[in-house]
Amino acid sequence: MSSTQQPEEATPPQTWSQRFESALHPAIAEFNASIHFDIELIEYDLTGSQAHAAMLAKTGIIAEAEGAQLVEGLEQIRQEYRQGSFSQARMRRMSILQ
């Protein structure tokens, strides 16, 4: 390091949830970095997730009531997104807590 360069400050590793003490694996951190443009696909993602929830219920992997609850919750997210009240910050928090 030359005398004009400032030493790099150590940044503590970020954890992805308070449930874990270790930092996110670099591959996962890179994957999560796409959140800022994932919002462009939200309508398609919600539709696919609703279809998946319906399939899980129809095949008996989850209860019909659980499938309906998932589909309804995903539709609520769609409506919040369309109304502008579903933020990317909220989307990040939801994906972290899953």
Residue whose structure tokens are 């996110």: 24
Please state, in angstroms and rounded to a whole number, the distance separating the CA atoms of residues 42 and 37. Answer: 10
Instruction: Please tell me the predicted confidence (pLDDT) of residue 69.
Output: 96
Instruction: Please tell me the predicted confidence (pLDDT) of residue 74.
Output: 94
pLDDT tens for each residue of the chain, 98 residues long:
444 554 454 544 454 556 667 777 788 777 777 777 777 889 999 999 999 999 999 999 999 999 999 999 999 999 998 998 877 666 666 654 44
pTM, 2 dp? 0.58
Helix spans in the chain (H): 26-32, 35-38, 42-58, 64-83, 88-97
Please spell the DSSP secondary structure of 81-95, one letter per residue.
Answer: HHHT---HHHHHHHH
CA 32-49-47 angle, to 5 degrees, is 110
